[in-house]
A and B are shown apart, each in its own frame.
Chain A
Amino acid sequence: GAGVSQSPSNKVTEKGKDVELRCDPISGHTALYWYRQSLGQGLEFLIYFQGNSAPDKSGLPSDRFSAERTGGSVSTLTIQRTQQEDSAVYLCASDSRDTQYFGPGTRLTVL
């Protein structure tokens, strides 16, 4: 596709359930990023992939959060045992040299 796509666009879940968020980066982009944006806040870095490896996982807030990338393309962010404070918009971006292109985000609501 022409841009970064993310699915689902919205996810409502109950506290304690696991969720998977998907990102399809722009074809050919080797770098992929996950950020989190809480209401009225800037973007909080979560994890960065170069190819299939993750040289920087420093932003993952707890061991309930994990991410993988396969085939140097699609990435999945998994949140286990979701908590209400996990409610936010999760944004994915892919990188062409100096420019990060963002997807529309997944709005996660944990009840």
Chain B
Amino acid sequence: ETGVTQSPTHLIKTRGQQVTLRCSSQSGHNTVSWYQQALGQGPQFIFQYYREEENGRGNFPPRFSGLQFPNYSSELNVNALELDDSALYLCASSDLAGGFPETQYFGPGTRLLVL
């Protein structure tokens, strides 16, 4: 059983650019959630994808968007990057069976620096 993987591990962009981060979910999991973690803070929920549909969204602007693919892997896209987007971006996968909160397992994260 493979765990959650994310790519790239580190990324440097400049303001106004666009970025795509990738996540492969743990084997057997159908749900991917994305979180943003600024330095010194806890992770903040961005959105969740379940079976290729957005299934909940946190307080993030529309320039944060995502996709989930049939194999349940996922992408996070951020347009028009701002300096405050510099953070650790975390992906978590779970098996949303319904009826129970299922444990989310996190990947190692992608550290994004916006200059």
Whether A associates with B in a native complex is no
